[in-house]
């Protein structure tokens, strides 16, 4: 596969194509942007169908994506390319546990595809990632006073995740017609009808260059969120704005969340409190609890939170889950990006003068009282009995930057849930840390076909960036749907909806 090196200052327009074609001849059938669950599986499917595919990602190899925070050190930003949210594997991080969830988790994607096709692609994604060793999934297993979303889920151990990533990396590396380039960013995409697309890429070592592609599959995860936000507006992609949510993550001894984990391993419910819609998110209470991770958006000047389940049994474990509240104004309209920046992110950066925009910790009694009585992580540990799963915090008045309606709704929902999780009458008030900031549902909701083609011809979106569904398995299904759309119906197996 050839690379087109040109003057970085040269405009990327249709007039460049004859020069590029004559001098370099650098066509590929498909450019896949992002080597996460959607991008990897799309590239694999496309190359298996005979396409010449270039798969690029801004991050690093899966075996060297080390995060200092997980080693109880400080977040360094990793030179603007966070190892937690970029690199081969994307949100699937080498050495971590993950949860895989089947449909109807990701309901909107399943409805777009139709039940038979969704089932078939889901099974194909599972076989691609795991081979013949597909584990047993479980749904709701017990009673809850709250409506729990029932879908099959399975937590994978860190060893199983490492094997899964190694398997996919070996498969990608050995596939003819598929080239993986890490450390490579896509700066811009330019449609050039009828030839397809010209992409301006930047390699950290070799600088900028152009590549032509017949089609483009965009499968950027969180690290590419702001880039994709700008690109769809430049390209004129049809979309609807999202309904964003803000929240916090509650961390405590794992036994306090056992009641929820016994009902469902990814306990999800939606409650309305004081007129505000609140949902549980990223419930991390496996056999060994869960740990909090940092996701650094260095280009945007802040770090948010993520959580990973620990499937291996452990003693003295901590567990965590997030609560998210929808952000709407008094007339019910969703907050836009300007208001999120002004009313949330700017105050968030001020909470840590030492390192603006990094996560903060607040003792639950202080969060409830909107004060900062517990002033250090050491004091928090002594008073709560909880050793945080990561240490890179400063104590701050997190409650003070949240809208009062949001804060009240989060606390009301937490009190109801913890009474069930831990058992009524269980003392918990002083045994909980509140960590922020969480910010979710910020992806624009694209108008896409059942093959995940956007309103712009030959431009496909899969995974989180389509704005349809979150989840590792759902991303893989989206990648397969996009690949089938590019390859055509001849690649679709005759058997639909294979039982799995």
Mind listing the pLDDT tens digit for each residue in 158-170?
999 999 999 999 9
Q: Look at residue 21 and tell me whether its pLDDT is greater than 80.
A: no
**In terms of domains, do 413 and 266 share one?**
yes
**In terms of domains, do 79 and 219 share one?**
yes
**In terms of domains, do 26 and 100 share one?**
yes
Q: Look at residue 96 and tell me whether its pLDDT is greater than 80.
A: yes
**In terms of domains, do 299 and 391 share one?**
yes
pLDDT at 475: 98
In the beta sheet, which residues pair with residue 318? 253
**In terms of domains, do 338 and 311 share one?**
yes
- What is the DSSP secondary structure assignment for residue 335, as one 8-state letter? P
**In terms of domains, do 265 and 306 share one?**
yes
The answer to whether residues 31 and 216 touch, using CB atoms and an 8 Å cutoff, is: yes
pLDDT at 299: 84
Give residue-wise pLDDT tens across range 354-413.
999 999 999 999 999 999 999 999 999 999 999 999 999 999 999 999 999 999 999 999
Listed in sequence order, the DSSP H helices in 3-106 are 17-23, 37-48
Q: Where residue 499 falls among pLDDT bands split at 50, 70, 90?
A: very low
Q: Look at residue 435 and tell me whether its pLDDT is greater than 70.
A: yes
Full domain range(s) for residue 34: 14-141+158-240+445-491
Instruction: Determine, yes or no, domain membership for 209.
Output: yes
**In terms of domains, do 411 and 452 share one?**
no
**In terms of domains, do 230 and 284 share one?**
no
Instruction: Determine, yes or no, domain membership for 203.
Output: yes
pLDDT at 490: 56
Instruction: Determine, yes or no, domain membership for 423.
Output: yes
pLDDT at 195: 72
**In terms of domains, do 290 and 219 share one?**
no
Give residue-wise pLDDT tens across range 301-336.
999 999 999 999 999 899 999 999 999 999 999 999
Q: Look at residue 487 and tell me whether its pLDDT is greater than 70.
A: yes
Peptide bond into 124 cis (omega under 30): no
**In terms of domains, do 349 and 411 share one?**
yes
Q: Look at residue 488 and tell me whether its pLDDT is greater than 50.
A: yes
pLDDT at 410: 98
DSSP track, 270-325 = EEEETTEEEEEEEEE-BTTBEEEEEEEETTTTEEEEEEEE--S--SS-EEEEEEEE
pLDDT at 451: 97
Q: Look at residue 10 and tell me whether its pLDDT is greater than 70.
A: no
d(CA 474, CA 160): 19
pLDDT at 427: 74
Peptide bond into 465 cis (omega under 30): no
Q: Look at residue 206 and tell me whether its pLDDT is greater than 90.
A: no
Mean per-residue pLDDT, 466-478: 96
Q: Where residue 133 falls among pLDDT bands split at 50, 70, 90?
A: confident
**In terms of domains, do 382 and 487 share one?**
no
Q: Where residue 99 falls among pLDDT bands split at 50, 70, 90?
A: very high
Q: Which of 108-117, 352-361, 362-371, 485-494 has the lowest mean pLDDT?
A: 485-494
**In terms of domains, do 258 and 295 share one?**
yes
Q: What is the CATH number of the domain that holds 25?
A: 3.50.50.60
Q: What percent of the chain has pLDDT over 70?
A: 92
* Domain limit, last residue, from 440, 455, 472: 440
Three-state secondary-structure class, residue 66: coil
In the beta sheet, which residues pair with residue 446? 239
d(CA 282, CA 285): 9
Instruction: Determine, yes or no, domain membership for 150.
Output: no
Instruction: Determine, yes or no, domain membership for 409.
Output: yes
Q: Residues, the chain, total? A: 500
């Amino acid at each position: 596969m050839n690379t087109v090196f040109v003057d970085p200052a040269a405009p990327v327009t249709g007039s460049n194509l004859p020069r590029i074609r004559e001098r370099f001849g650098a066509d590929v059938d498909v450019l896949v942007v992002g080597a996460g669950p959607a991008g990897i599986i799309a590239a694999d499917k496309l190359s298996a169908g005979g396409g010449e595919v270039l798969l690029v990602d801004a991050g690093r190899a899966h075996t060297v994506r080390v995060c200092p925070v997980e080693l109880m050190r400080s977040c360094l930003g990793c030179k603007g390319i966070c190892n937690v949210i970029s690199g081969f594997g994307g949100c699937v991080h080498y050495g971590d546990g993950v949860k895989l969830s089947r449909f109807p988790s990701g309901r909107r994607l399943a409805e777009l595809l139709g039940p038979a096709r969704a089932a078939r692609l889901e099974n194909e994604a599972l076989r691609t990632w795991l081979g013949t060793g597909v584990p047993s999934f479980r749904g709701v297993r017990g009673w809850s006073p709250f409506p729990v979303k029932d879908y099959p889920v399975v937590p994978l151990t860190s060893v199983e995740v490492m094997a899964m990533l190694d398997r996919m990396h070996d498969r990608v590396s050995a596939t003819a017609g598929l080239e993986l380039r890490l450390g490579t960013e896509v700066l811009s995409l330019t449609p050039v009808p009828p030839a397809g697309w010209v992409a301006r890429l930047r390699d950290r070592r070799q600088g900028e260059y152009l590549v032509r592609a017949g089609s483009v599959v965009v499968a950027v995860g969180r690290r590419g969120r702001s880039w994709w936000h700008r690109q769809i507006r430049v390209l004129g992609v049809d979309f609807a704005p999202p309904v964003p949510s803000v929240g916090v993550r509650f961390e405590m001894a794992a036994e306090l969340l056992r009641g929820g984990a016994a009902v469902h391993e990814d306990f999800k419910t939606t409650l309305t409190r004081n007129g505000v819609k609140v949902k549980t998110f990223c419930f991390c209470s496996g056999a060994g609890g869960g740990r909090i991770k940092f996701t650094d958006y260095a280009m945007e000047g802040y770090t948010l939170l993520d959580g990973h389940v620990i499937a291996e049994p452990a003693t003295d474990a901590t567990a965590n889950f997030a609560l998210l509240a929808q952000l709407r104004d008094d007339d019910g309209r969703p907050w836009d990006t300007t208001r999120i920046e002004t009313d949330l992110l700017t105050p968030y950066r001020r909470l840590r003068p030492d390192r603006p925009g990094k996560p903060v910790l607040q003792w639950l009694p202080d969060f409830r009282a909107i004060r900062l009585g517990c002033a250090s992580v050491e004091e928090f540990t002594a008073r709560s009995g909880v050793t945080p799963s990561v240490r890179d915090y400063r104590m701050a008045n997190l409650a003070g930057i949240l809208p009062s309606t949001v804060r009240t709704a989060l606390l009301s929902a937490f009190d109801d849930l913890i009474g069930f999780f831990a058992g009524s009458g269980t003392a918990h008030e002083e045994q909980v840390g509140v960590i922020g900031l969480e910010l979710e549902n910020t992806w624009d909701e694209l108008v896409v076909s059942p093959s995940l083609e956007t309103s712009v011809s030959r431009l496909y979106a899969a995974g989180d960036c389509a704005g349809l569904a979150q989840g590792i398995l759902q991303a893989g299904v989206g990648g397969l749907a996009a690949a089938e759309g590019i390859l055509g119906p001849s690649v679709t197996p005759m058997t639909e909806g294979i039982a799995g």
